[in-house]
Structure 1
Amino acid sequence: MHNSLYLSMNLPCTLFETVSRFDDNSADDMRYGDMGQHDLLALGLNDISAKVDPWRFIRYDFPHPSYVDGMFGVSTPGRKISHDECVDILFNEMKELSHEFSFWGEYKSLIGELIDHFRYGNGSAFYSQKLNSAFHMRMSKLSLRSPLLIIKDCIQREFAKTHTKMYIPALLHQIEIMLLRSRLYKFNNPQDRANGLGISVHDISAQKIILLNLQKYSLGWSATVHFEAQDHFGLDVSDIKNELYREFRFFRIWFFLQHHRDFAFKPFLTNFNSVERIDNYL
């Protein structure tokens, strides 16, 4: 049998998939409109915005310091507004506050796009070429225990053992085992705290690695690998109980807009992917 035909009979092959499922709309951070005022106040969310009181629809005449209502019970003066005006103010404030986490680099505008999708997307999935590009750039750095480096090393070792014919089932099984020890790609490096990727995605919820193609030549080999990833743009109770996150108005506004039953903006799935080519020649 011709070697290229033999290889293609075993491909494409899923080499790795996270325990966390793709399209998991039942996840806690995908819930919305499930809380009333009592529930939110019980989580300590009495201070949501510096510009508006979303409980009473009052726009403050002056920026609202965080300690005023919470500590002294003194009401900040303001004027009555409509529900729609309150929504406008909260989303604009959320965008302004996002600059704390996204103020340099080519991906700094990404969080603004996600916030707009949160408001207008009605829970539909989000796709972005910027995220695809960022994902590709992240995996192009072949760091220790990176999945792409593990796949490349496994194929190269098999090729070095026999230049005539690769035993593909054994090779695929070996890659699957080695990938269990890999360090999956995430957007949680120190620079991601400022370039917009950390606040936009951070810890990727689900990932899948698929070997699409493997070609063997007399002097080397080449392979094509597809990386699929998905994250949830949504917060759950454990997020807002986190001592770090709850200190930022950005997250308090986000949680309020998502979970308050009178606002109930829908979280959504963020999808991105990258197709990588690896090879080695003598």
Structure 2
Amino acid sequence: MINALQLPCTLFRTQKRRDDYSASDMRCGELTETQLRTYYGLEYISDQVDPWTLTRRSSMDRPQSMFCCHLRGPGKKITRQQCAAILFDEFRFLSRQFSFYGPYRHLIEKMITHMQTGNGTPFRDIALDRALKEQIIRDTSSNNSSRLLLNKSFKYNINWVHNIFPNELKNELTKSIAFSKLPKFDRFQDNFNGMGITVHDTWATDITLRSLQIHNDRYRAIVHYRVQDHFGLDSDDILKTQFSQFHFFRIWFVLQHYMQFGFRPFMTNMEATVEINGGRSESQS
């Protein structure tokens, strides 16, 4: 007797676990001014304020200025709270260089504000769910798409005589996902549409088969993706020139890690449900 796969069924789960608050990019408020300025080279952070002296800047303070900033008197003193608020405003303004078109361009500013006010609580937005579903459906690479590789596995492993998916072949579905490229936002267009800066890579992914109907040599599967990312930077990030050259990331790192600020990073959660269907005799080309 052939035992059918019991549903719902978890098909795949990444080794990195969800809600891992011990991850390096989830640390905050643990670095001193000396560490940030010497080891990380974060001497000049902002064109608006100097977080080390808690003073406002003028255009003549900028490193590229032809005038020597040492000839000027000290800038206007501000409080630590005022400095953080100004840095967050600059953080949001600078984010626009990474998200200037498309339906997701507003997300980065929304997420920066969540970092400022959310005290580390998880973040959800319907636009993130929509972006995830769109990425899964539009991935048409036969070698990389988890959706298309699952399609092949369903076709080849369904017992078409008894109209069931054998429980003993569940691992074939898991393997098809393991060989795929999991959904992430590292395409060229993601550099400009807001998704590359808000999510880019992902931390943890769970994929569940919620239902499977087989009838008349056709099948219809409902597959649910749960994806989690961390909105935070770690030391490895800021030590890379591709990050540290931008004031955007320098401000982000200082707001998160400087012990005088310590704004908490957070989990970014997104979900998508997709339908996969096909037939016994369908071409897999």
Structure 1 length as normaliser, TM-score? 0.92
Q: Secondary structure at the match of 2:220?
A: strand
Structure 1, gaps ≥5 residues long: none
Q: Give the C-alpha shift of residue 163 in structure 1.
A: 3.5
- 2:97 maps to a residue whose letter is E
2:41 corresponds in structure 1 to 44
User: What is the CA distance between 1:148 and its match in structure 2?
Assistant: 1.0
Aligned to 2:155: 156
Q: Which one of the candidate residues 190, 193, 196 is aligned to 1:195?
A: 193
Out of 104-113 and 170-179, give the one that drifted further: 170-179
**Aligned runs of 1:1-282 on 2, under 5 Å?**
7=4, 10-42=6-38, 43-62=40-59, 64-67=61-64, 74=70, 78-141=75-138, 142-144=140-142, 145-159=144-158, 162-281=160-279
Cα displacement (A) at 1:67: 4.6
Distance in 1 (CA, whole Å) between partners of 2:72 and 2:174 is 60
The TM-score, its normalising length taken from structure 2, stands at 0.91
Distance 1:97 1:115 in 2: 11
**Aligned amino acid, residue 30 of structure 1:** M
Q: CA deviation at 1:165?
A: 3.5
Residue 241 of structure 2 aligns to a residue in which SS?
coil
Does the 8 Å CA contact 2:29/2:261 hold for their aligned counterparts? yes
Matches of 1:48 and 1:151, distance apart in 2 = 47
Give unpaired runs (5+ residues) of structure 2: 281-285
Q: Is the contact between residue 30 and residue 258 of structure 2 (CA under 8 Å) also seen in structure 1? A: yes
Does the aligned pair in 2 maintain the 1:32–1:259 contact within 8 Å? yes
Cα distance in 2 between the residues matched to 1:230 and 1:177 = 21
The 3-state SS of whatever aligns with 1:214 is strand
Q: Percent identity?
A: 38
* Cα distance in 2, alignment partners of residues 243 and 172 from structure 1: 44
Cα deviation, residue 202, structure 1: 0.4
Mapped contact 1:51–1:63 kept (Cα < 8 A): no
CA distance in 2, matches of 1:64, 1:114: 30
The 8 Å contact of residues 51 and 59 in structure 1, kept in 2 or not, is answered as yes
Task: Kindly state the Cα deviation for residue 281 of structure 1 after the two structures are TM-superposed.
Answer: 4.4
- Check whether the contact 2:222–2:276 (CA below 8 A) recurs between aligned residues: yes
- Match of 2:128, SS state, is helix
Give the residue type in structure 1 aligned to 2:15. Answer: V
Q: What's the CA shift for 1:76?
A: 5.8
Query: Displacement, 1:79?
Result: 1.2
Give CA deviations for 1:10-45 in whole Å, capped at 9, x if unaligned.
Answer: 111111111111000000000000011011012100
Report if the CA contact (8 A) 1:154-1:171 is conserved.
no
Amino acid at match of 1:26: S
Offset of residue 162 of structure 1 = 2.9
